[in-house]
Structures are given as structure tokens and as C-alpha cells.
Amino acid sequence: MRSVVGSAWALLLGMGLLMIGNGLQGTLLGVRGDIEGFSTLEMSIVMSAYFAGFLGGSRATPELIRRVGHVRVFAALGSLISAVLILFPVLTDPISWTIGRAIIGFAFSGVYVTAESWLNNATTTENRGRALSLYMIVQMTGIVIAQGIIGFGDPAGYELFIIPSVLVSLAFAPILLSVSPTPAFDSTKPMTLRQLYEASPLGCVGMILLGGVFSAQFGMAAVYATQVGMSVREIAIFVTSIYVGAVVLQFPIGWLSDRMDRRIVILGVSAIGGVAGIAAFLLPYSLPLVMVVGFLIGGSSNPLYALLLAYTNDFLDYEDMAAASGGLIFINGLGAIAGPLVTGWTMGVLGPEGFFLFIAVLMLGVSAYAGYRMTRRASAYAEDDYEATSYAPILPSASPVAVEVAQDVYAEAVEEAAEAIDEPNAPGEPQP
């Protein structure tokens, strides 16, 4: 881990500052939208625009990098983010915010692609898995810190919008001044969606449902919180509980997934998130209740992304794993775009508690489909030649580069396991 920090500390510091800015603007817009009198439908469109932009950015940025290079793309997108953040409190109408959120989603996606390319270049085969884990922790820590900052300002003013703009601007200094050399960039040609579905129906269905869950959390949690009457401090605590759960439960769930049929873990984890959501929908509101539910939903849905990725890999040849990443991200992105829109409609019909019902239905849908697939396909874990490999922690907000890195980590583990099986016994060891 020291070698990872030593080679990539500037990049990790810069990404931490970026995540503080991103986490702050996401929650802040939900609160400010209520102050400005935006309807639930209008806010759902605003929040959905981020994920539409993010998906577009993940597909367009590789071509931009090939044309003008990492540094120019990184600096240009960072300037866009900083400018739009300052404009939010000036142009307080739904159309302007929707356009701004789409631009920020596009720009952050491009920034992630660029930064994660540098991270991949700064690591080796031996420490890439640890680097990915540390990167994930830095991301989640940045989002958690952002929630604490919200309590120190007035969402109706300008200061809280200036802070993320400044943090984003500062984030580029350590990265651009220290990262060298510029990495080569070559994206992997993705598998077709049909090939991907034939390889893993559960992986594809789970990814699109999980996209809706994640975008509802990231985009609509603050909207729900304002509608039930939480104070700014309570909103920060609630949103924090979601991301703390994601960090705390990521590794225990990953440990389990390497030691048993992943479908059982997927079924159980998604069921926990679904039941927690149903409880919050049915029971009277209380802050302790929604904090516990937020912890469980965040702690189940975020690791589920890596679980579905690992499960899909169980049915792919290792040379196809990186190719599958593009299709999985696209499927997840479609669900993410729809998530806030459907959540907003549900909340408009059923009230604020519709936020939890929407998440519960999707999580229970993943659980039910995992149970169904267990009746249709034998477990890869039960096969004689199956070797359990390391679970690579990765978040739903990851760019195609980070997902491909996770796929590479997984593929390398599979290849090493295969080589260990084929390796002849050392002299003096008993023959099988």
C-alpha cells in the first residue's frame, strides 16, 4: 500500500478534492431546489441529466483524449465543472439546472476517465488491486466529507456553491503538476449486448436495475430529505449514512463472494437492501430509522455493483473480461438515467416515502431474479475447475477505465490460478 501511495499520492489527493466537490453539489442542489420551489418532477429531471451526461462523457472522452491528449481534456473539463458550479445559484430555473447538470455529468465522467488512466499507468500488476481499493476509499471519503461541509453554510446563499468550485479548481494543481508521463490510451472494443446477455443474464438485468438504485440514491436522497422536513444538518447525516454503509460493508461482502456461490450473496445482499427500503416506506418517519435504512441500502447496493461484475466474469474467458466492461457500463447507465425520473414520479404519487419504495422494488427485483437464475443455471462455484478469485471493489460511479482495471485485476487472478493448476509438482512433492 505504501508503494501505491508513494506513486499516486497527488492523483489520490486531487481525486479526493474532486469527490468533495461532486458530493457537495449533488446534495446541495437537492436542498436548494426545494428552497427555489422546484417540483419533485422538475428535480427528478435535473438529477437525471447528470447521469445522461455521465454516460455520454464515458463514450465521448476516449475520442477527445486521442485527439488532443490527457492534459488538455483534463484541464478543459475541470474548467467547465468549476464554471457551472458557480452558475447554479445565479440561473435558478429548472432548464438551466438541467443543462448544467448534464454538463457536469459529462465533465466528471471525462475527468474520471483521464484520472483513472493515470492511476492505471502509475500502478503495476502486483499492486493494481490495492490501488483500486484505495481509490474507492478516497472517493467515498470525499463524498462523506462533503456532507459535513453543508452544515456550515446557508444553502440559500452563494458560499456553498463557491466552495465546490474552488475545490475542483484546486484538485487539478497536484495532478497536473506531478503526473508524468502521460499514459497511452487505448479503449477496449466492447462485446455486443446480446453476447453479454447470453454470457450472464443476471449480470445484465442486475446492472440495469442497480443503475436505477444508485442514481436514485445519488440524485434524489436530498430531495426526499427536504420533503420530509429534515434540517440541513440532518440531510447531511442521512446522505452520509448511505456512503458510510458503502465503505463499511464493501469488503465483508467481497470476502463472502470469494468463498461461496456469488448468486447466493447477490440474492441475500439485494434482499437486505429491499427489506430495509420496505421498512422505511411502511414505518413512520424517524431520523434514526432512515439513517439505519440509508446505511443498509448504501451498504448493499454499492457492493452489489462489484458483485455483479465479478459474477459476470465467472462466465467469461479472461481475455473477454475487459471487453465486457463497455456493455456493462452502458446497461448500468441506462438504468441510472431512468432512476431519478421514476423516483420523482413515485414520490409525486405516493409522497416522499416513494423514494424508498422505488429502491426497494428494484433491489427485491435483483434478489428475485437471482433466485430464478439459480434454477436455470448450474453454479460456476460448483465446477471442479472453478477457482475463486479476488473480488475487485469498484463503485457504480466508476468510469470505463476503472471498470476495465477491475476486469484486468480479475482476469490476472484467473490466469494466475490457471497457471498454478497447470504447474507441475515440485520435486519431492506427492503426485496426485
pLDDT tens digit sequence for 260-274: 788 899 999 999 999
> Is residue 181 in some structural domain?
yes
> Where residue 185 falls among pLDDT bands split at 50, 70, 90?
low
The answer to whether residue 309 scores a pLDDT higher than 90 is no
> Is residue 429 in some structural domain?
no
The answer to whether residue 99 scores a pLDDT higher than 80 is yes
The answer to whether residue 147 scores a pLDDT higher than 50 is yes
Highest mean pLDDT among 160-174, 187-201, 255-269, 274-288: 274-288
> Is residue 262 in some structural domain?
yes
Which of 132-136, 198-202, 369-373, 397-401 shows the lowest per-residue confidence on average (mean pLDDT)?
A: 397-401
> Where residue 100 falls among pLDDT bands split at 50, 70, 90?
very high
Determine the Cα–Cα distance for residues 348 and 345; give it in Å rounded to an integer.
5
> Is residue 250 in some structural domain?
yes
Cβ contact 65:73 at 8 Å: yes
Query: What does the DSSP 8-state code read for residue 37?
Result: T
Determine the Cα–Cα distance for residues 317 and 192; give it in Å rounded to an integer.
15
Cell of 227: 420533503
- The residues, ordered by sequence, that sit 6+ positions from 288 with a Cβ below 8 Å of its Cβ are none
pLDDT tens digits along 322-371:
667 677 778 888 899 999 999 999 999 999 999 999 999 999 999 999 99
Cβ contact 280:328 at 8 Å: no
Cβ contact 167:21 at 8 Å: yes
Determine the Cα–Cα distance for residues 395 and 392; give it in Å rounded to an integer.
10
Indicate the number of domains in the chain.
1
Cβ contact 69:249 at 8 Å: no
Determine the Cα–Cα distance for residues 72 and 157; give it in Å rounded to an integer.
33
pLDDT tens digits along 278-303:
999 999 999 999 999 999 999 999 88
Mean pLDDT, range 382-405, rounded to an integer:
59
Cell of 300: 448493499
How crowded is the C-beta side of 180, counted as CA atoms within 13 Å? 3
> Where residue 405 falls among pLDDT bands split at 50, 70, 90?
low
Determine the Cα–Cα distance for residues 233 and 256; give it in Å rounded to an integer.
35
Q: Which domain holds residue 26?
A: 2-422
Percent of the chain with pLDDT over 70: 78
Phi, psi angle pair for 149, to nearest 5° = -70, -35
Phi, psi angle pair for 314, to nearest 5° = -60, -20
Q: Exposed/middle/buried for 79, CB within 10 Å: 0-12, 13-18, 19+?
A: middle
Determine the Cα–Cα distance for residues 407 and 254; give it in Å rounded to an integer.
15
> Where residue 395 falls among pLDDT bands split at 50, 70, 90?
low
> Is residue 431 in some structural domain?
no
Of 31, 53, 329, whose CA–CA distance to 191 is shortest? 329
Cell of 385: 475447475
Determine the Cα–Cα distance for residues 212 and 209; give it in Å rounded to an integer.
5
> Is residue 179 in some structural domain?
yes
> Is residue 430 in some structural domain?
no
> Is residue 154 in some structural domain?
yes
Mean pLDDT, range 238-262, rounded to an integer:
84
The four Cα atoms 301, 305, 311, 312 give a dihedral, to 10 degrees, of 140
Q: What is the 3-state secondary structure (H, E, C) of 246-289?
A: HHHHHHHHHHHHCCCCHHHHHHHHHHHHHHHHHHHHHCCCCHHH
Of 219, 226, 121, whose CA–CA distance to 178 is shortest? 121
What's at 364, amino acid-wise? Answer: L
Cell of 398: 466508476
Determine the Cα–Cα distance for residues 33 and 340; give it in Å rounded to an integer.
14
pLDDT tens digits along 102-123:
999 999 888 887 777 777 666 6
Q: Domain holding 222: CATH number?
A: 1.20.1250.20
